[in-house]
Structures are given as structure tokens and as C-alpha cells.
Amino acid sequence: MLSAKKRNQLLELDLSLEKLSYEIHSYSSYTSAYYPRNILEDKPLEQSSRWSSNCNNEMQYIIIKLETMSIVHSITFGKFYKEHICNLKKFKVYGGLTPNKMDELLNSGLRNDEFPETFRLKYRANNVLLPCQYIKIVPLVAYGPNFNFSIWYVELKGIRDQEIVQKAYYDHITYRENEAIRLCLKHFRQRNYLDVFNLLQSKTNLLIEDPFLTELYTQLVVNGDFQMAEDSMTDAAEKGLFEEYIRSFEYKLQWTKIEATNADGDSPCIRGGHQMCIDVEAGHIYLLGGWNGTKNLSDFWVYDVNARIWNLISCDTREQGGPNPRSNHRICLDPSAKRIYVLGRFIGRDMRANANYNSDFYQYDIIHNEWEQLSENTLLEGGPGLIYDHQMCIDSDKQIMYVFGGRTVHPDVDQFYYSGLYSYDIMSKKWKLIRSDEKDPIYFKSRIGHSMLLDQTERLLYIIGGDRDNKFLSDFYIYDINADSIYELPADYAAQDDQDLVVFTQRTTFDIDTKEFFILAGLKDKKEKKASSVKNAFWAYDLRMGKWTKLYQSENFDQCYWASNETTEPRPRHAHQMVYDYVNKVQYLFGGRTVEIETSRQQRLDDFWELHLIR
């Protein structure tokens, strides 16, 4: 019997992961001295330390047997010390209790470089953990189209605590047995063997399906009451029972420009590099600071979603003890405590000679309308230095804030310094460095221009794209907070449509209910601005399905169109902000700087848009 603590840990997989020992069980083929057992040792400098198949068809595989039945959490692939034409461009990983019955755990691919890659495996299905005794790796495509497959090294991590694994095994077997019984019940009912159906159901106490479906079956099939069936369908639609089916359809996008002011007829002025956050429960969007083209701003606004009006909280937050004028900072909201946190700011190249490089840190109490300076310089307290273009998220339940990336403001304007991954304990007011850019840049590069979002339920940080040293990063990382591990998500959205996808100026939101990411992008290459690259694109990534979908792309490239008042969509831009109301499924976009082929024609914006996603 598991303790209450272990049961809770098991649900979140909040347990220390161990390296899992294994042996080679079977394989499809091998070439010369490239034996399957070579994947047990990580020797990146040795050309022969790998398993290579003797052909490149999709029938190739290698099956490994774990020393003990385990919950397999992740797989790491080691590589040769330089890129190799036999590396796996595409592969699949399966797992199960026997070599003949396995579930797909991963569908992904490796980059053709020298760096090891770790992937998070599917370890849970139908709220039941998946115990594995065997793992099967199936190569699908190598980087050389006519070359055989090679795997250099494989490492597995997971849980092998037998108390936990045996409980998972019991739950897994019980689930399979119950599913078999449900199939029998369904068959007996369809064949009208009602005596057997009723007897089996009474003995097992299993529901064949959702009670609504049973009721509908009785109304429609048994009683032939079509009116009652129609009423039940209407009631089901109102309760949202068709949401899963509706998710199979693509979204339709509807942009609407918001014309809103305060009681005096004022609204936020033109700006870029401002910051926004949304209190979904209260229906309020907060906007702080930015750059209007000549100076930094310190005004503080709130937009009432229901009343559709702006309110000016402060024309200068310094007067209330808040932050000084700034841009390219970050703000994030703690929805439970109703507090907003402000960190970072940008200092221009020509202003750095006599600048103040202290990294100040502020908190705004929404309920009491009060500012508090939490720190004059977070660097002296174990936190990040003065940074800009970073990302912040708050775990409201655990009262932990996470800060990742951003470029450190440095007197030497020609050198790029990046900040790592930090956590901030709100209750104890203590910073912790989780990943350093100086020590861990190979596998987990710090960056600017990225997105970071938090799944508070699963305790996962998602980090998407960005820019490092003027090079675009199209990766998609997961930081598992409980496991303190970093994994790369299989999907690479830049590879979905490499010619058309615009990605540098991305803004990403996350729907915690549907587990979908939404990405708005407006420029592919920040240096090379061609007419064909100045366009908006809106993408969705379904985390459950592992699927990217391009929902929308503007087809109007003419600058006269974007400059007119006849646009039915926001013009391509950067330095803007977008927030998401996940309850009402509405995105809000404000301001930014236009993307123009000629830099001299760029202008800052004060337009405000809402985007409805409709299915």
C-alpha cells in the first residue's frame, strides 16, 4: 500500500529519476563490427562505437530489455563528436511489458550535430502510468537518404522503485481488463443479449460508457423517442460534451479592432517594448511602460474587458514608489495573490557610458494599489543581473516565479551576454540559479525573442524559439520542474513550412484547458526584410496530438494596404504584446513597431486588437 505522500508524488511523477540498466534483447540486423551492444557505452570519439543496420528500410529496429520493470520517463541519444550522415533524422520509440505488444512513446528526430539529445517519453495514458520491460527503437530516416541507420548511445531514465512500479503494473492490468469487459458489454448490448449484458454489468459494476450515452441509447434505440433524444443532444451541447469532437476541426480566425478610451477620451499612446499581462478572473489587462520612439515610458494602464474601456492607473509609477521609465522589461501576474511583478529594462547603446546597471525588482499589489521595491539589485541577492527581452512565469500554487533568458545589459555593447534560468521563491524572497548560460549553453541555450509558458498542473515550462547571437533558434524545450530535467519537444515548427513560416517576432500564448499553444509571428529574418517576408502568420500546436497547424497567413504584402485604414487584420510588427483570455478564448494584441522593408519608414503603433478563435 502506497503512502499518501508517495501517491501524490506518483501522480505528478515528483520523484527522483534513476538511470535504468538494460541489455540488448533483439535487433533486425547489424553491419560489420557495428554491434547492437555498442549503444550501451557512450564513446563519441570512436567511429565504430555504434549500432548500424545493414539496410535502410523501415523494418529495422533494436529492442532493449530493462533490468527490472520500470516507468521510463526519458531517453537520451548520444552522438558522434561531429555530424554524421547516418544519424537518425526520424525515428519512433515504443515500450511495453512484452516485445510483441508495445505502445508508441515517442515520434521524433535528431539534429545532425554532435550534441546529445534527451526526449521525454509518454509514460502515462488514460491517467494510468505505463510500466515497461522492453523498449523498441525504430529508425525511419537517416540524414543520408541512401545510408544505413546508426545509433551511437542510448540512456534511459525513470523510476524503478518496485513498490511504485508494481502499483502501476496493477493499475495498468486492471485498466486493460476493464476495457475488455466494456467491449464485451458493448457487444452483448448490440446483439440484444440483454440477460447476459445485465448479469455481467451487475457482477462487475462497470459502466459501459458515459451515463449520457446510455441514456441516449435507451431513448433512441430502445424507446424510439426521437424528441427526447434531440432534447438530450441539445442539453449535451450546452454542457460542452462535444468539445473533444469539435477540436478535430480547424479554427477560424476573426480579428476585430478595439476602439476604446478612458472617461477623458485617452488611451495608451504609441509604443513598442511595452509589457502586458491579463487577470482572466477579473477581466483586466494591464499595460506598463514601453518606448514611444523618443523616450521610455512609465505610465500604467488597465483595460476592462467587460466594460471595454481603458483606465489610467498612473501616469508615472515613480510617484507611487514604482519602477522608473523602461522598455523591454517583463511583467507577470500572480492571479491568486493579485500581484504583478516587474523585472528588467533596456539601456540603449549610446546611454551605457554613465548608466545605472542595478537590476531593480518591483511588486504591484492590485487590491491595495501599492508598489513595493523588492530589490535594488537582484544580482547581489543571487538573481539575474540587469537583463532585457527575457521571459517570466509564476507558479501561483507553489509561489515560485521563473525567469529565463534575456540579454544582460553590459558596458561593452559589442559583446552578447545571456542570462540563465532562475527561480524566485516569493514567500522567502530568495533567488536560485537553476541553469547557467556559462555552464549549460550547449544543450540549453539562453536566448532573446523567445516565449516561455507554464503548465502549472504538470509543472512544466515550455520554451519556444528565440534568437542567440543573431541566429534564429527553432527549438522547443520542456523544463520538467519536478525532475529538474530538460527535454526537447519532437515538433520543430520552423520545419513545418520553412519557406513561409515567419518566426522571429513571435508571441505565444497557452490554453491551459485544451493544452494548445498559439503563436503569432510577423517577420522571418530581422536583417533581410523582403516584401514576401512582411506578413503575419498564426500557428497552433496541439500538445496532446503533437501537431502543428497553420491557421492563418496574411496574403497582403503591399505597404499601401498596411498603411490604410481598410485593414481587417493587424499589420506585421515586432516589439508588440499579446495576452490570452483562456476562459473566453480571446487573444488581445497591442502596439509595437511596424515591419518595413525600409527601416526609416518604421513607425510605432497604438492599435488594439482582439482575435477570436472559432470552431
- Higher pLDDT among residues 253 and 440, named by residue: 253
Query: What's the pTM?
Result: 0.85
Q: Of 57-71, 324-338, 393-407, 489-503, which range is least confident? A: 489-503
Average pLDDT of the segment spanning 14-22: 84
Q: What is the DSSP string of 198-229?
A: HHHHHHH---SS-HHHHHHHIIIIIS--HHHH
Lowest-confidence region among 47-61, 488-502, 549-563: 488-502
For 140-152, how does the pLDDT look when each residue is reduced to its tens digit (9 = 90+)? 999 998 899 999 9
Dist CA 303 CA 569 (whole Å):
20
Residue 7 binned pLDDT confidence (cut-offs 50, 70, 90): very low
Helix axes 162-190, 4-12, angle to 10 degrees: 70
pLDDT at 572: 84
Contact at 8 Å (CB) between 404 and 415? no
* Separation between Cα atoms, residue 32 and residue 11, nearest integer Å: 46
According to the model, what pLDDT value does residue 598 have?
A: 60
- The rounded distance, in Å, linking the Cα atoms of 114 and 112 is 7
Quick one: which of 401, 493, 391 has its CA closest to 450? 391
Q: Can you give the pLDDT at residue 493?
A: 46
Per the prediction, the chain carries an average pLDDT of: 89
- Most confidently modeled range among 102-111, 299-308, 492-501: 299-308
| Opening angle at CA 366, ends 364 and 367, nearest 5 | 130
Which residue matches cell numbers 540587469?
Answer: 386
Q: Which of 104, 75, 108, 117 is nearest to 491 (CA)?
A: 108
Domains of the chain plus CATH, in order, are: 4-160 (2.60.120.260), 242-309+490-615 (no CATH), 328-482 (2.120.10.80)
DSSP one-letter code for 485: E
Question: Which range is least confidently modeled, 171-185, 415-429, 454-468, 514-528?
Answer: 514-528
Q: What is the pLDDT of residue 47?
A: 93
Q: How big is the CA angle at 34 (ends 33 and 35), to the nearest 5 degrees? A: 95
Residue 77 clears pLDDT 90, i.e. is over it: yes
CA atoms of 393 and 374, how far apart (whole Å): 17
Cα distances (Å, whole numbers) of residue 32 to 50, 54, 105, 302: 11, 8, 30, 69
| pLDDT of 552 | 84
- CB contact set of 326 (below 8 Å; sequence gap of 6+): 289, 296, 298, 344, 345, 346
pLDDT score of 317 more than 60: yes
Amino acid 72: pLDDT: 97
The set of cell numbers assigned to 118 is 534527451
Give the containing element (helix H, strand E) for 169.
helix 162-190
Question: Could you tell me which of 97, 198, 86 has the C-alpha nearest to residue 145?
Answer: 86
Q: How many residues does the chain have?
A: 615
Residue that wins the pLDDT comparison between 308 and 10: 308
**What integer is the mean pLDDT of 301-310?**
98
What is the arithmetic mean of pLDDT over 558-569? 72
Q: What is the pLDDT of residues 232-272, one digit of tens each?
A: 999 999 888 888 888 888 899 999 999 999 999 999 999 99
- Whole-number Å distance between alpha carbons of 116 and 312: 51
For residue 531, pLDDT over 70 is answered with no
In 3D space, the residue among 477, 471, 354 whose CA is nearest the CA of residue 418 turns out to be 471
Please give the Cα distance from 95 to 75 (Å, whole number). 12
pLDDT digits (tens, 9 = 90+) for 150-173: 999 999 999 999 999 999 999 999
**In the chain, what percentage of residues exceed pLDDT 70?**
89
Q: Which of 28-32, 123-127, 471-475 has the lowest mean pLDDT?
A: 471-475
Amino acid letter, residue 530: K
Q: What is residue 599's predicted lDDT score, i.e. its pLDDT?
A: 57
Q: Tell me the pLDDT band of 494, cut-offs 50, 70 and 90.
A: very low
Q: Determine the pLDDT at residue 353.
A: 81
Collapsed DSSP state (helix, strand, coil) of residue 185: helix
Give the residue-averaged pLDDT of 70-84.
Answer: 95
pLDDT confidence of residue 556: 61
**pLDDT, tens digit, 9 for 90 and up, residues 450-491:** 999 999 999 999 999 888 888 888 788 999 998 888 888 754
**Percent of the chain clearing pLDDT 90 (strictly above):** 67
* Euclidean distance between CA atoms 387 and 410, whole angstroms: 9
CA–CA dist 403, 433 (Å, integer)? 10
Three-state secondary-structure class, residue 236: helix
pLDDT of 584 higher than 50 = yes
Which tens digit of pLDDT belongs to each residue from 186-230?
999 999 999 999 999 999 999 888 888 889 988 998 899 999 999
| DSSP letter assigned to residue 303 | E
pLDDT score of 11 more than 60: no
